[in-house]
Amino acid sequence: MSTYRRHAQFLADSRLSDAGIRRLYIMDSTTIPLFKDILRGVGRSPKEGKKKGGVKVHAIIKASEHVPCLILYSEAVRHDHMFLVEVYNLAAGSIITFDKGYVDYAQYEAFTKAIAGM
């Protein structure tokens, strides 16, 4: 018996339909550290003395296509919620999911007003 069949009864029954998956976007970021000898001076110097130098890659993936539809690069110290202002032109009714690093209530309000045509 497959693992899925054995545990299917415990899975949520609120999965998105195929139409829902076509509306779903996934947003996240990852940091590429730059700590080679040639880049030793890159990055900020926080109080604990460790530098955080690098490049942060911000991406939005359309779930139905399994490929990024938007990729942006920034300095590694840029906080994820700052990327929310780059999210634009998603179709009305789109669903976007992200982790708590993107908490920005002012931007959520701007999204709501844009969707409602306010």
Which residues touch 8 (CB under 8 Å, ≥6 apart)? none
**What rounded mean pLDDT belongs to the chain?**
81
What is the value of pTM for the model shown?
0.69
Tell me the pLDDT tens digit for each residue of 82-109: 888 888 777 878 888 999 999 999 988 8
Strands 24-33 and 95-97: parallel
**What is the structure's pLDDT at 32?**
86
Among 1-5, 13-17, 55-59, 71-75, name the one with the lowest average pLDDT: 13-17
Tell me the pLDDT tens digit for each residue of 39-69: 555 555 666 655 557 889 999 999 999 999 9
- The structural domains of the chain, with segments of one domain joined by +, span 16-116
